[in-house]
């Protein structure tokens, strides 16, 4: 590699990390730089309705708009380019005589493959490449190194590895008020060529419905607001949250979409929490505390980055091989909010409209689709979440789906969420259900979670005939949940026998083992 020039022309490539605060890679880009070019590349690989829903795409575009105005305020700009990064970047680094390329480390599958190619091409062109870790608290490799060379698969193991590393790196200092300018004679840097498009510019016709707005400015304001109630922060325990809370605001911080895109730095969140905990001596602790939530993110990022085939069941060494059913009619009903269980359908409706639901609500629908009721593969549900969530983050999403389907991390498959009583205990009046499923808005509270039990007269008075205005349940939870538990046991036993065939012969159940349970699960 050539020696880096004294006054480099730097290209900073934004991908995640859509922020100016705590951005060590951007610091590396501006160091001694004569010129700085900040770009975001709209990659056609992402920009497909089957890959990213309108709510998250809009969140991204708002984040870019915010970033653009922040950069302009510092005498720079964000140039939004379109096309495959491996084609677009070499073109501009040639046009702009770039000598240094900087970007934040991204551990996700597609990003890793992409970045290896870009880095090789840049070095080939004599360009210095600098890449820092700032999307996670730690370098995930360091966590693995402290855990016997592999990603920890339990929270305890993760905690041990993390404690061995000590506290994470401090946040980077604020950037200077003025950033190195672009050379005004550079090709293709005019506003008209590099502006942030709208969702309709990108071919999306669906309306944006999420109430959450993207961007670093919004993220910092939300962080400040959420952490201003120090008593609340200090006593926060995730399992005690109310998944039905939505008006005026949910039971959690909703910082997840900002962390997903890096509008907020995890290290800034970490430091801000530590400040509150210093003041409030009595406070909740990981894994249930707010800090714990940030550590779970780290846990899943580490697992994803260091597990082969993490995003699929097949050839995934940490994933139980459960023979899920292929029942597209069940899957479609779940996806389209018509399982006939209001609690499940309301959560799925919130997913479509807001792109966000409370974590425990996600548990309920994930359990229902997989091991609890429909026995459909977690990969199918994962794809839906991946597309529709504004915080859809592959490492965390696939991990949680394996957790909920008892495919990895969590194995107590007999603990099944009830699609009837779970919501009822938080919201007996059914306000949440009524809001997201207006067809049921006048159903008496007594029947709001089980409307099929309402007498015909009650249904008529509520203007909601079951089977007409709102579907009848596609399965009988009391029946199928028991069958599912039995099938999970069978699958676990088969896995054990398969993994270690010499230790014990394949177990055969005395009775019931060969029952065609699939047939029994069909809609009645």
Partner DNA sequence: GTCGAGTTGTTTGT
Partner DNA sequence: ACAAACAACTCGAC
111, 115, 104: which is closest to 19 by C-alpha? 104
Q: Is 489 in the site for DNA (CB under 7 A)?
A: yes
Length of the chain: 524
Compute the least distance from the CB of residue 309 to DNA, in Å: 17
Region of 101 (left: φ > 0; alpha: ψ -120 to 50; beta: rest) is beta
C-alpha distances (whole Å) from 203 to each of 48, 58, 84, 147, 215 are 9, 12, 18, 46, 22
Residue 123 within binding range of DNA, rule CB under 7 A: no
| Residue 220 near DNA by CB under 7 A | no
Q: Answer yes or no whether residue 250 interacts with DNA by CB under 7 A.
A: no
| Complex with DNA: residue 118 or 151, whichever CB lies closer | 151
**Which phi and psi (to 5°) does residue 131 adopt?**
-140, 120
DSSP state string for 316-366: -TTS-----B--HHHHHHHHTT-SS-HHHHHHHHHHHHHS---HHHHHHHH
Q: Which of the stretches 62-70, 177-185, 327-335, 415-423 binds DNA when contact is defined by CB under 7 A?
A: 415-423
Among 103, 422, 436, 449, the residue binding DNA under the rule CB under 7 A is 422
DSSP for residue 239: G
Return the SS3 of 193: helix
Which residue number, 58 or 483, has a Cβ lying nearer to DNA? 483
Min dist CB 429 to DNA, Å, is 17
Q: Residue 238 interacts with DNA (CB under 7 A)? A: yes
**CA 161 – CA 506 distance, rounded (Å):** 37
Task: Compute how many residues bind DNA; rule: CB under 7 A.
Answer: 37
- What's the alpha-carbon Rg for the chain, to the nearest Å? 25
Site map (CB under 7 A) of DNA, residues 278-297, x = contact: ---------xx---xx--x-
Is residue 26 within 8 A of residue 12, CB to CB? The reply is yes
User: Closest distance between DNA and the C-beta of residue 417, in Å?
Assistant: 4
Query: Is the bond into 358 cis (omega within 30 degrees of 0)?
Result: no
Query: Is residue 242 a contact partner of residue 87, using CB atoms and an 8 Å limit?
Result: no
Does 504 participate in binding DNA (rule CB under 7 A)? no
Taking the complex as a whole, how short is the minimal distance between the CB of residue 241 and DNA, in angstroms? 7
What percentage of the chain's residues is helix, strand, coil (to nearest 5)? 45, 5, 45
95-103, 153-161, 225-233, 349-357 -> range binding DNA (CB under 7 A): 153-161
Of 431, 482, 474, 437, which is closest to residue 452 (Cα–Cα)?
474
Regarding 363 and contact with DNA (CB under 7 A), the answer is yes
Nearer Cβ to DNA (163/198): 163
Rule CB under 7 A: is residue 156 a binding residue for DNA? yes
Least distance between DNA and beta carbon 476 (Å): 12
492: contact with DNA by CB under 7 A:
yes
Contact (Cβ atoms closer than 8 angstroms) between residue 32 and residue 183? no
420 binds DNA (CB under 7 A): yes
Pick the closer one to DNA by CB: 120 or 164.
164
Is residue 97 near DNA by the rule CB under 7 A? no
Q: Does 232 bind DNA (CB under 7 A)?
A: no
Residue 414 is a binding residue for DNA (CB under 7 A) = yes
Q: What is the contact surface with DNA in residues (CB under 7 A)?
A: 152-157, 160, 237-239, 287-288, 292-293, 296, 359-360, 363, 403, 410-418, 420-422, 425, 485, 489, 492, 495-496
């Amino acid at each position: 590699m050539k020696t880096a020039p004294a006054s480099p022309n730097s290209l900073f490539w934004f991908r995640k990390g859509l922020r100016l605060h705590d951005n060590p890679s951007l610091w590396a880009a501006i160091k001694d730089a004569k010129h700085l070019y900040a770009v975001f590349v709209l990659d056609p690989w992402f920009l497909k309705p089957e890959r990213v829903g309108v709510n998250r795409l809009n969140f991204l575009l708002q984040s870019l708009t915010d970033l653009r105005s922040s950069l302009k305020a510092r005498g720079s700009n964000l140039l939004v380019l379109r096309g495959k990064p491996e084609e677009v970047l070499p073109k501009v680094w040639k046009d702009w005589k770039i000598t240094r390329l900087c970007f934040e480390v991204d551990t996700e599958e597609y990003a890793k493959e992409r970045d290896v190619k870009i880095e090789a091409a840049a070095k080939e062109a004599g360009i210095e490449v600098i890449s820092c870790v700032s999307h996670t608290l730690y370098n995930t490799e360091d966590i693995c190194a402290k855990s016997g060379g592999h990603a920890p698969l339990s929270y305890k193991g993760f905690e041990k590895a993390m404690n061995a590393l000590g506290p994470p790196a401090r946040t980077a200092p604020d950037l200077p008020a003025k950033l190195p300018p672009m050379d005004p004679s550079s090709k293709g840097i005019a506003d008209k060529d590099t502006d942030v498009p709208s969702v309709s510019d990108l071919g999306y016709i669906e309306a944006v419905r999420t109430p959450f707005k993207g961007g670093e400015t919004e993220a910092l304001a939300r962080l400040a607001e959420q952490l201003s109630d120090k008593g609340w922060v200090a006593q926060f325990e995730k399992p005690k949250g109310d998944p039905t809370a939505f008006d005026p605001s949910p039971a959690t911080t909703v910082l997840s979409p900002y962390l997903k895109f890096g509008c907020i730095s995890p290290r800034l969140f970490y430091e801000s929490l530590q400040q509150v905990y210093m003041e409030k001596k009595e406070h909740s602790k990981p894994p249930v505390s707010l800090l714990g939530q940030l550590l779970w993110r780290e846990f899943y990022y580490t697992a994803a980055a260091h597990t082969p085939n993490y995003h699929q069941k097949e050839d995934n060494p940490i994933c139980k091989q459960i023979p899920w059913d292929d029942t597209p009619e069940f899957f479609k009903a779940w996806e389209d909010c018509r399982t006939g269980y209001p609690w499940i359908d309301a959560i799925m409706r919130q997913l479509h409209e807001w792109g966000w639901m409370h974590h425990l609500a996600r548990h309920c629908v994930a359990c229902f689709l997989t091991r609890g009721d429909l026995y459909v593969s977690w990969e199918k549900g994962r794809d839906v979440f991946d597309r529709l969530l504004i915080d859809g983050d592959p490492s965390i999403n696939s991990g949680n789906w394996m957790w909920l389907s008892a495919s990895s991390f969590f194995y107590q498959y007999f603990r099944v969420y009830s699609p009837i009583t779970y919501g009822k205990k938080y919201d007996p009046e059914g306000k949440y259900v009524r809001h997201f499923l207006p067809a049921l808005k006048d159903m008496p509270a007594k029947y709001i979670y089980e409307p099929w039990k309402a007498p015909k007269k009650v249904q008529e008075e509520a203007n909601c005939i079951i089977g007409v205005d709102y579907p009848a349940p596609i399965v009988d939870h009391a029946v199928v949940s028991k069958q599912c538990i039995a099938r999970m046991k069978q699958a676990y036993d088969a896995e054990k026998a398969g993994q270690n065939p010499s230790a014990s012969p394949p177990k055969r159940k005395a009775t019931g083992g060969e029952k065609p349970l699939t047939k029994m699960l069909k809609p009645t």
